[in-house]
């Protein structure tokens, strides 16, 4: 078995005991990248020289007795929204085709401190403004979308190039590609981790977090990148918990909310079945299932878009005025639409968000977590980015995929997407576990229990088919 095929914790133990070197692990990752990248186009920029340099440094440090922990010497993919000193950060857009930052983003700097090795920068839907990442193929079916906007990160993890890749999540952009690519994806609580040095889509909805092959990988990386940062006024000055210790404590006695509305509306049968199967598994493990009604359901998606669109336009205003032709038509139109939105709509959306957050707090008073499908349907075709419903109607992929992930962004609650199975065509499906504020250890604990009781988490896509 190749090193890239092994779970992260097994690779980490081999590195710690010097059975293998970080250089060997990095070479395995680069070889896998070379094999699958022509099919997937997951990366904007590949950094083999830097990766080997960092791996050699890690090998020297470990050989000298300076082992930093289980992330030391582990390859990493980074969404191309995150600044990386000396390495292009394009946001997959012509607007920043030549942008090379002088400093690392806060998250990248922390993961470098943990000893991780940068393999390259992964594609995003342009400036994270979409949920399909048109540049990139899904490792399970390259003619289909990997989701977005962190589609390159999802494809890089699912294809085995890296164990972990960074994403961002404003309306579901970590969890959507996690579900569609068959990986784990963690959107933390709003304020858990700094967004300094990450291109913004919507500052009051943006979150940063990992996509990974296994739940414990996300726990390790999320803990490393978390913490208060006075440079980001959105971060919360709360302690960073140990997200790994106790992850195997089980789910006995946990009250799991099962929604009877919203997450059940206009959802493909196989996506709904994946959630029911996961709920039954949790019940078999000793959890209690509690039916709940999602409050203010009709206001969630309108509130998401009414906040996101003007905030995105405000961030892009100079580009929009001076070089609008450098955007794709899709993103330019969205930004122009945001510019036309009345300020009163934005203010009312902010007020609605406060009411939604209060209503969800009340709902969570009777449950520990909420379990729901991550996406409404499996991956759509890249050439036809629409969800086609049995009644003959169609729904644009971005709008469809965001529907079930947006609540965690509007409320700011943590949400973990975990692989839950495959449909008849072999396409991944995911379920998400939403928790109370700063309860990442709890949702990771439930995700780990589901992972250990099924055989769908941690699989690597074969990437056999070429794009038609």
Structural domain includes residue 316 = no
- Domain of 73? 3-300+343-453
Over 90: is that where the pLDDT of 7 sits?
yes
Q: How many CA atoms within 13 Å lie on the side-chain side of 133?
A: 41
C-alpha of 171 from chain center: 10
The three-state (H, E, C) secondary structure of the chain, written as one string: CCHHHCCHHHHHHHHHCCCCCHHHHHHHHHHHHHHHHHHHCCEEEECHHHHHHHHHHHHHHHHCCCCCCCCCCCEEEEECCECECCECCCCCCHHHCCCCCCCCCHHHHHHHHCCCEEEEEECCCHHHCCCCCCCCCECCECCECCCCCCHHHHHHHHCCCCCEEEEEECCCCCHHHHHHHCCEEEECCCCCECCCCECCCCCCCCEEEEEECCHHHHHHHHHHHECCCCCCCCCCCCCCCCCCCCCCCCCCCCEEEEECCCCCCCCCHHHHHHHHHHHHHHHHCCCEEEEECCCCHHHHHHHHHHHHHHHHHHHHHHHHHHCHHHCCHHHHHHHHHHHHCCHHHHHHHHHHHHHHHHHHHHHHHHCCEEEEECCCCCCCECCECEEECCCCCEEEHHHHHHHHHHHHHHHCCCEEEEEEEECCCCCEEEEEEECCCCCHHHHHHHHHHHHHHCCCCCCCCCCCCCCC
Structural domain includes residue 331 = no
- Specify whether 173 is catalytic: yes
Residue 19: CB atoms within 10 Å: 10
pLDDT in tens, 373-405: 999 999 999 999 999 999 999 999 999 999 999
Structural domain includes residue 73 = yes
Structural domain includes residue 96 = yes
Over 50: is that where the pLDDT of 467 sits?
no
Structural domain includes residue 333 = no
Average pLDDT, the chain: 97
Structural domain includes residue 467 = no
| Active-site pick, 21, 79, 107, 254 | 79
Show the tokens assigned to 227: 């913490």
Structural domain includes residue 180 = yes
460 neighbors 160 (Cβ within 8 angstroms): yes
Find the CATH number of the domain harbouring 20. 3.90.1300.10
Give the Å distances, CA to CA, from 196 to 225, 310, 383, 415: 12, 20, 35, 21
- pLDDT band for position 464 (cuts 50, 70, 90): low
CA 429 – CA 420 distance, rounded (Å): 6
pLDDT in tens, 30-89: 999 999 999 999 999 999 999 999 999 999 999 999 999 999 999 999 999 999 999 999
Percent of the chain's residues with pLDDT above 90: 98
- Specify whether 194 is catalytic: no
What is the predicted pLDDT for the residue at 468? 40
Entry pTM: 0.97
pLDDT in tens, 194-220: 999 999 999 999 999 999 999 999 999
190 neighbors 207 (Cβ within 8 angstroms): yes
What is the predicted pLDDT for the residue at 352? 98
Domains held by the chain: number: 1
Structural domain includes residue 321 = no
Arithmetic mean of pLDDT, 141-156: 98
pLDDT in tens, 87-117: 999 999 999 999 999 999 999 999 999 999 9
171 neighbors 110 (Cβ within 8 angstroms): no
| Active-site pick, 28, 107, 153, 173 | 173
């Amino acid at each position: 078995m190749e090193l890239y095929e092994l779970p992260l914790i097994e690779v980490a133990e081999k590195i710690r005991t010097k059975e293998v070197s970080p250089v060997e692990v990095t070479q395995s990752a680069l070889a896998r990248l070379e094999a699958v990248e022509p099919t997937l186009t997951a990366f904007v920029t590949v950094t083999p020289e830097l990766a080997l340099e960092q791996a050699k440094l890690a090998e020297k440090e470990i050989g000298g007795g300076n082992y930093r922990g289980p992330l030391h010497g582990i390859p990493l993919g980074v969404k191309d929204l995150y600044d990386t000193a000396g390495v292009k950060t394009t946001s997959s857009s012509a607007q920043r085709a030549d942008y090379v930052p002088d400093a690392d983003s806060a998250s990248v700097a922390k993961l470098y401190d943990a000893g991780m090795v940068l393999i390259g920068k992964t594609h995003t839907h342009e400036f994270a403004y979409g949920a399909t990442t048109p540049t990139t193929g899904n490792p399970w079916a390259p003619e289909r979308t990997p989701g977005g906007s962190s589609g390159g990160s999802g494809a890089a993890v699912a294809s085995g190039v890296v164990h972990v890749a960074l994403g961002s999540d404003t309306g579901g952009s970590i969890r959507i590609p996690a579900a569609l690519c068959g990986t784990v994806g963690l959107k933390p609580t709003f304020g858990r981790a700094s967004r300094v040095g990450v291109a913004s889509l919507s500052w009051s909805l943006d979150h940063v977090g990992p996509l990974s092959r296994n739940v414990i990988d996300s726990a390790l990386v999320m803990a490393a990148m978390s913490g208060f940062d006075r440079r980001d006024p959105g971060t919360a000055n709360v302690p960073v918990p140990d997200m790994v210790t106790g992850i195997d404590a089980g789910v006995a006695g946990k009250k799991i909310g099962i929604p009877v509305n919203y997450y059940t509306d206009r959802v493909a049968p196989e996506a709904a079945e994946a959630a029911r199967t996961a709920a039954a598994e949790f019940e078999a493990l000793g959890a209690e299932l509690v039916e709940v009604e999602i409050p203010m359901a009709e206001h969630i998606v309108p509130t998401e878009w009414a906040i996101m669109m003007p905030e995105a336009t405000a961030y892009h205003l100079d580009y929009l005025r001076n070089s609008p032709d450098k955007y794709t038509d899709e993103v330019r139109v969205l930004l122009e639409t945001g510019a036309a939105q009345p300020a009163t709509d934005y203010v009312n959306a902010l007020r609605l968000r406060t009411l939604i957050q209060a209503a969800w707090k009340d709902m969570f008073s009777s449950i520990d977590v909420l379990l729901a499908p991550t996406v409404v349907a499996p991956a759509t075709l890249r050439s036809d980015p629409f969800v086609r419903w049995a009644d003959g109607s169609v729904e644009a992929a971005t709008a469809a995929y965001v529907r079930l992930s947006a609540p965690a962004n509007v409320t700011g609650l943590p949400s973990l997407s975990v692989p839950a199975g495959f449909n008849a065509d072999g396409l991944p499906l995911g379920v998400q576990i939403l928790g109370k504020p700063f309860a990442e250890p709890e949702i990771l604990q439930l995700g780990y229990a589901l992972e250990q009781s099924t055989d769908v988490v941690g699989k690597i896509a074969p990437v056999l088919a070429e794009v038609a």
